[in-house]
Structure 1
Amino acid sequence: MDRLTLKHAAEALLRANDRNGCTVPAPALYPHQWNWDSAFCAIGWAYLDPRRAARELEMLLRGQWENGMIPHILFNPEATHYEPNPKVWQIDQAPGRPQAIATSSITQPPVLATAARFVLERSGGDRTVEEILRRVVPAADAWHAWFLRERDPLQQGLPAIVHPWESGLDNAPRWDAALKRIDPGEVTYKRKDNAVVSSEQRPTRFDYDRYFFLVAERAKLSFAPPTPSSVSFLVQDVAMASILCRAEEDLHALARALGIEVPHALERRAKLAAGIASLYDAERAYYHDYDLVGGAPIEVEHASGFLPLFAGVVPLDVVPRLLAHLRDPNQFGTAWPVPSAPVDDPHFDPRRYWRGPSWVNVNWMIIEGLRRASWRDDAARLTDRTIELVSRSGFREYFEPNTGEGLGAENFSWTAALVLDLLAKS
């Protein structure tokens, strides 16, 4: 479809997936409110209705825990076709849980403040938008503080994830070794995802056994802050740190524009930037995660390693070395970039979720990072290729990086939302 038709189709999809102020990612597969999905959707909504965009972000605050965490799922009680359901998370006795809504017990990458800044800038001084975002600022500040208070046990400026779902990049090959250490025993659960999307495109039974084990472990440990000796999975995730680092910058700018004080945002950002720098492997010219339980870096390349660009913390002399990976056809330079895992990874699978397919949200963050680093030609090429991919294959959840075939859920909200931004800036 041509670009104008694509724009109108994206707008229609967002409206169709609206559920009373929040956008479900894909009605058939994901019927609840997901954290970073909503933030990405707000970026698209800002082109249609800035007030509706601000409301999307405010809806996330319903699920905030007293300790500041904003969980990765806020459950819709009318939607029952998703597993794990609220009972599986066992948060009824969790200290500080929200009373008015059921949620998961883990978080997701904090895109909230970045999206809020974008919405404000698109709003043209709308008073209603500003009033809503004044409520978002302290909530985002509390969430950001939570990451370095309760998820940085070594105080290195590197928030750690306790579950692959927290990364948003669930079954990425970078988690394989850490998950293989876990013996989940007999785990009983239901899966409904494979009834909607072909099993060849979804995480495996091996993955899901451990996903449900880790959900139960959080409850067993009374949702306490993790340490390397107390949990089975604890990884310093370069993507999480990068997205949070960018969010601190955006939170500071948002608060200043609204006349609100967030005195520690830039201090936290500096600490995160130093932490991210420590994850850089100069020999391989790549940013790697660190396994706190195993006590070693995870020397597995993944698209997440480009996200320090999104944070704006990559030294100028390192950017060309990162771009060499991005351009290499044997790594990330596929016909329809950016594959979530490099082609030369022995576990690369071009059709299975985060083990190879290309995702529009990752492309969007890399494009933003390339623009920040003043590599505008590369950003423009990736922008055009991403728009063409969606024009050819529709608003799918992810895409086969060699053929461009649409995979995963259909009518996927953040694909539509972020295409609206890419169209506006191309």
Structure 2
Amino acid sequence: MTVETGAEPSAADRAARFLDLENAPFTLPGSRILVQRADGGVTVRLAEYERRLDECVVVRTLRVFGADGRLAELRDVRPERLEFSGGVTLTFDGPEAISVGGAGRFTVELAVPGALDSSAAAFGTWSPGLPSAATAVWNADGVEDVQVTEAGSDTVVRLTVAGAAGQVRIGLGEPVDTGMLTHSAALAATDDIWAEWFARCPGVRPDLADLTAFCWWVLGANIVTLPGRGNARAVVPSKIGYVGLWQWDAYFIAAGLRHGDPNLAREQLSLAFGFPTADGQLPDVVHDEGVLASSDDLPPGDRENLRRAGSAIADPTAAIPLTKPPLAAWALRSLEGLIDDPAWFDDAWATVARSQEWWFAHSDLDGDGMPEYGHPYSSGLDDSPVFDGDLPVASPDLAAYLIVQDDLLAAHARSVGDTDAADRYARRADNTLALLEEMWDDAASFFRSRGAGHPLAAETAVSLLPLLTGRLPGRIVSRMLEALDDPDRFATPWAVPTVATRDADFSAERMWRGPVWVNINALLVEGLAVSGQPVRSRRLLESTLRLVAHGGGPHEYFNPLTGEKAASATTSFGWSAALYVDLAVRASR
């Protein structure tokens, strides 16, 4: 995969420029294993649902020493391998193992947590005690020497191997007695996996090609298999901290995947749509151990914290449904024409329709015709100031999503000849639009959320998302454009902040209280376009692409004043990567 002089860089070469083993770990599509820099070498951890990486250590440190006994430096990082000085490389040997090998004599030092069973010279086992790895093992070929010592609560193993076939394999599960791939075969197999993935990377403008390739790498790197779900492939928000399929994330991730791998995009929607409750509610999260669809699905200690007392309408002692905003039809529409499976689409549209009915039947908690968020988690904007007061919250973004979803359901019903259903969806969309317009505060010049029926002071990006309907009166659209142009509101140096700067709760760094999120920008790009503002839409599209480049990659969220990654934001974030790809493709047409 080396590029010849003068040749156009491959997508893999472009992505490699961003691989630093810190913001972007070394991993493999479908694997839970993550390799990152640590103490003169690397550390090996696993990506697990609802566990911090520091709790998921398989090898605390892995260091390589050359034939002269000196520590080998990590010289190069590529999608398919890490290269140390002296010609030693580290690669994957399938999704559950890594292999270290080289042509000469070298030593691999492993510091592993806990005790080690080293009863055989060719292998040793230990117990990380993780859901994906109750047991781990090293195997070695060409062993010259094995030394085992204790170091506090860890065990340190030094394995010296030699010869063309010399290698050390670190895997999950039991020892491999026979059939272990040679290191060169493992390198070739890993190279093939990434080559196949990058072959699907969509083409874009030259100035966007490097970061698009890296974002495509992020999507591949964030693939995990869910054993509890028949080994379905989920593109998780991040192997660094978000290991599961969140409903909202799946929709945004599918928007980017569809440009190179529409079948994988469909798999994300199939998982998101695959586990509705009896009354049609779609779960917040699908994960190995089940789903998160209610506060009762949370650990006991979290349940009491997350049942928000003080609501004048919702019973704070009852189980609270947990879902995500209704963008299901929006996501499903994006795959039409890319997937030739009418039966799948029929089932998917039926699931979306049942989910839409759930919102009106079970989440209109005050019975006024306008559904509310019963819990911040269901909004996707958990920490927004609109949730600082009482629940439930009637929010203009939810109204907008429901209008768009009913409009899309009406269009689908008309396309299959169901005029009665089309008329029903259209009437409901019109009614929701009328209720949304009642939320407009003309004096304050924004759509005002309501908590437990009371107007809320917070001015946030949810007040801008009604643009998505494409059905607002011109006078309101004009006032919203003024808000986007006002430095005291949403015209920050790097827009669009999720809270207006004039709001008392604005923070440039705190999650959903001011930072820029790529998904909100992408929705506003669409909202401006359908609201008759194509030039404004294109301007925001291009500035969002520049923001991700300026910030150093597809982070979870960005400081709107500096354009840099916010301090607490996760890196290599799935929907930021996917939406960058989507916006880059659109910008290149």
TM-score higher than 0.5 here?
Answer: yes
1:53/1:258 CA distance change after superposition, 3 Å: farther
Aligned partners of 1:360 and 1:398 also within 8 Å? yes
1:34/1:259 CA distance change after superposition, 3 Å: farther
Match for residue 127 of structure 2?
Answer: none
Match for residue 240 of structure 2?
Answer: 28
Aligned with 2:259: secondary structure?
A: helix
Match for residue 511 of structure 2?
Answer: 353
Output aligned runs, 1:304-319, within 5 Å: 304-319=462-477
Output aligned runs, 1:61-80, within 5 Å: 61-77=273-289
Please report the RMSD computed on the Cα atoms of aligned residues, expressed in angstroms.
2.4
Match for residue 213 of structure 2?
Answer: 8
Q: Deviations over 1:354-374 (max 9, x none)?
A: 111000111011111100111
Aligned with 1:301: secondary structure?
A: coil
Output aligned runs, 1:298-337, within 5 Å: 298-337=456-495
Aligned partners of 1:137 and 1:255 also within 8 Å? no
Output aligned runs, 1:73-88, within 5 Å: 73-77=285-289, 86-88=298-300
Aligned partners of 2:320 and 2:375 also within 8 Å? no
Aligned partners of 2:386 and 2:393 also within 8 Å? no
Match for residue 120 of structure 1?
Answer: 336
Structure 2 counterpart of 1:412, one-letter code: F
- CA distance in 2 between partners of 1:281 and 1:395 (Å): 35
Q: Deviations over 1:112-132 (max 9, x none)?
A: 1101001114x1xx423x332
Larger relative contact order (CA 8 Å, sep ≥ 6)? 1
Match of 2:540 among 382, 395, 408: 382
Output aligned runs, 1:179-258, within 5 Å: 233-257=391-415
Match for residue 410 of structure 1?
Answer: 571
Say whether 1:401 aligns with 2:560: yes
Q: Alpha-carbon deviation of 1:86?
A: 4.4
Aligned with 1:377: secondary structure?
A: helix
Match for residue 581 of structure 2?
Answer: 420
Aligned partners of 1:161 and 1:167 also within 8 Å? yes
Q: Alpha-carbon deviation of 1:259?
A: 6.4
Structure 1 counterpart of 2:561, one-letter code: N
Output aligned runs, 1:266-277, within 5 Å: 266-277=426-437
- CA distance in 2 between partners of 1:78 and 1:161 (Å): 23
1:3/1:422 CA distance change after superposition, 3 Å: same
Q: Alpha-carbon deviation of 1:105?
A: 3.6
Aligned partners of 1:38 and 1:57 also within 8 Å? yes
Output aligned runs, 1:90-169, within 5 Å: 105-121=321-337, 123=338, 126-128=339-341, 130-169=342-381
- CA distance in 2 between partners of 1:255 and 1:21 (Å): 31
Say whether 1:51 aligns with 2:263: yes
Aligned partners of 1:73 and 1:104 also within 8 Å? no
Q: Alpha-carbon deviation of 1:290?
A: 1.2
Q: Alpha-carbon deviation of 1:344?
A: 1.4
Aligned with 2:336: secondary structure?
A: helix
Aligned with 1:74: secondary structure?
A: strand
1:373/1:87 CA distance change after superposition, 3 Å: same
Aligned with 1:22: secondary structure?
A: strand
- CA distance in 1 between partners of 2:425 and 2:234 (Å): 27
Structure 1 counterpart of 2:217, one-letter code: A
Q: Which protein is richer in strand relative to its size?
A: 2
Q: Alpha-carbon deviation of 1:348?
A: 1.1
Give the number of the structure whose alpha-carbon radius of gyration is greater: 2
1:351/1:400 CA distance change after superposition, 3 Å: same
Aligned partners of 1:156 and 1:275 also within 8 Å? no
- CA distance in 1 between partners of 2:358 and 2:367 (Å): 13
Q: Which protein is richer in helix relative to its size?
A: 1
Q: Alpha-carbon deviation of 1:265?
A: 2.4
1:162/1:401 CA distance change after superposition, 3 Å: same
- CA distance in 2 between partners of 1:43 and 1:255 (Å): 23
Structure 2 counterpart of 1:388, one-letter code: R
Match of 2:523 among 358, 365, 368: 365
Aligned partners of 1:339 and 1:357 also within 8 Å? yes
Match for residue 192 of structure 1?
Answer: none
Q: Deviations over 1:209-263 (max 9, x none)?
A: xxxxxxxxxxxxxxxxxxxxxxxx2111211111121122223334545667744
Q: Alpha-carbon deviation of 1:48?
A: 1.1
TM-score, normalising length: structure 2: 0.57
Match for residue 184 of structure 1?
Answer: none
Instruction: Give aligned pairs, total.
Output: 351
Give unpaired runs (5+ residues) of structure 2.
Answer: 1-13, 15-206, 225-231, 304-318
TM-score, normalising length: structure 1: 0.77
| Percent of paired sites with the same residue | 29
Match for residue 339 of structure 1?
Answer: 497
Aligned partners of 1:74 and 1:104 also within 8 Å? no
Aligned with 1:399: secondary structure?
A: coil
Structure 2 counterpart of 1:317, one-letter code: R
Aligned partners of 1:245 and 1:269 also within 8 Å? yes
Aligned partners of 2:460 and 2:498 also within 8 Å? yes
